[in-house]
Amino acid sequence: MVGIVIVSHSWKIAEGVCDLAREMAHGHEGIIPAGGLDDGSTGTDAEKIANAIVEADTGDGVVILADIGSAIMSAESAIEILEEEERGINAVIADAPIVEGAVCAVVEAAGGGSIESVLTAAEESREANKL
Amino acid sequence: MGGVYKCISLIAERITENKDFLTELDREIGDSDHGINMARGFAAVMEKLSPEDSDIGATLKKAGMTLLSKVGGASGPLYGTAYMEAGKITAGKTELNPSDMKAVIESAIAGIQKRGKAVKGEKTMLDALIPACESFSESIAHGADMIAALESACESAREGVEYTKTIIATKGRASYLGERSIGHQDPGATSALITLEAIRDYYKGA
């Protein structure tokens, strides 16, 4: 099953998005938050993201959803750290909003979708109209 | 005590001394956390490093990894990647000659550009570092020693910081301000200048 990592500056946002996503996809164990810094302050931490990717991966790859500012750069750094360690994990960043993207991604992942289809599901969430 | 440890200690000291100044600059055009984030990151770096550290490459990688994890803001992945890239080309070295230093500055810039996808003139740390690198290279091509070349690099970095006052930010949080970012010097360019000055002062004292 494709793993999902939620990156946010706020650990509360990351945990909250994961809680919501898990409710949408019962039985998906690999929805992992990587929010804030270890001391609880706001920010993004590439090492924490790298650890979350490892935790989320079951061999089918990981789709990362990240919020604003440095979150994307930290997620890219995390992927590079894992590449340098030659972990062999296929991790990609979705160009998508984290709440809507996470919900669409986990539903696709829980249904057994490939990493490509989970990434597409996350990115297509941008097109959803709310009104 | 390893030279690289002393040099990074001096950078950490200067960043910490300028914590409030950097945060104040960032309050004007950003999210007022640059000094706080950098000081937190370098405090964590100093906890990770040992005075015995002397392999420049390994030490820069350790520092870079810590910055990636502990800074929190955009400067974390940017400086973190800069240190990591500089560490890759200095593995096993315990001292640098001027052409090694040129390669260090170039690889740090390449790291920042890979991560931030910015070019010169976008009101970022690159506006201090790219002119500094050019002056450093030119100086050593004319036979300058390390200290003289670093003096010239710092001079150009300082001019670069001044230049950031005249331009519009197109990257990061400051870009939301558009023309209102004019008149303010860039916090990232300022911390890059502080870093270069600390390196220069390390060589002057060494």
Of B72, B75, B81, the CB nearest to A77: B81
Total number of domains constituting chain B:
1
Q: Give the pLDDT mean for B183-192.
A: 96
pLDDT band at B151 (very low <50, low <70, confident <90, very high): very high
Give the domain extent around B31: 3-205
Mean pLDDT of chain A: 96
CB contact under 8 A, B80 and A77: yes
What pLDDT is recorded for position B31? Answer: 87
What pLDDT is recorded for position B189? Answer: 97
What pLDDT is recorded for position A59? Answer: 97
CB contact under 8 A, B72 and A46: no
Whether residue B147 lies within 8 A of chain A, CB to CB, comes out as: no
Q: What is the dihedral of CA B42, B47, B51, B57, to 10 degrees?
A: -60
Q: Give the pLDDT mean for B46-62.
A: 97
Q: Which of A9, A25, A45, A104 is catalytic?
A: A9
Q: Is residue A9 annotated as a catalytic residue, yes or no?
A: yes
What pLDDT is recorded for position A119? Answer: 98
Whether residue B80 lies within 8 A of chain A, CB to CB, comes out as: yes
- The answer to whether residue A121 scores a pLDDT higher than 90 is yes
User: Is the distance from CB of B72 to CB of A41 less than 8 angstroms?
Assistant: yes
- CB contacts < 8 Å between A and B, how many? 60
> What are the residue ranges spanned by the domains of chain A?
3-127
At A11-45, the pLDDT tens digits run 999 999 999 999 999 889 999 999 999 999 999 99
What pLDDT is recorded for position B99? Answer: 97
What pLDDT is recorded for position A111? Answer: 95
Mean pLDDT of chain B: 96
- C-alpha span between B153 and B130 (Å, rounded): 9
Whether residue B171 lies within 8 A of chain A, CB to CB, comes out as: no
Whether residue A81 lies within 8 A of chain B, CB to CB, comes out as: yes
What is the ipTM, given to two decimal places? Answer: 0.90
At A49-98, the pLDDT tens digits run 999 999 999 999 999 999 998 999 999 999 999 999 999 999 999 999 99
- The answer to whether residue B163 scores a pLDDT higher than 80 is yes
- The answer to whether residue A128 scores a pLDDT higher than 90 is no
Among the ranges given (A117-121, B156-160, B174-178, B194-198), the one the predictor scored with the smallest mean pLDDT: B174-178
What pLDDT is recorded for position B206? Answer: 62
Whether residue A61 lies within 8 A of chain B, CB to CB, comes out as: no
Q: What is the CATH number of domain A3-127?
A: 3.40.50.510
What pLDDT is recorded for position A69? Answer: 86
Whether residue A8 lies within 8 A of chain B, CB to CB, comes out as: no
Å from B197 to nearest chain A CA? 26
How far does chain A reach from its first CA to its final CA, in angstroms? 33
Please give, one letter per residue, the 3-state secondary structure of chain B: CCHHHHHHHHHHHHHHHCHHHHHHHHHHHCCCCHHHHHHHHHHHHHHHCCCCCCCHHHHHHHHHHHHHHHCCCCHHHHHHHHHHHHHHCCCCCCCCCHHHHHHHHHHHHHHHHHHHCCCCCCCCCHHHHHHHHHHHHHHHHCCCCHHHHHHHHHHHHHHHHHHHCCCCCCCCHHHHHHHHHCCCCCHHHHHHHHHHHHHHHHHHHC
Among the ranges given (B48-57, B86-95, B175-184), the one the predictor scored with the smallest mean pLDDT: B175-184
For residue B127, the domain's CATH number is: 1.25.40.340
CB contact under 8 A, A74 and B65: no
Instruction: Kindly state the helix (H) or strand (E) to which residue A7 belongs, with its residue range.
Output: strand A3-8
CB contact under 8 A, B69 and A81: no
Q: Give the pLDDT mean for B184-204.
A: 97
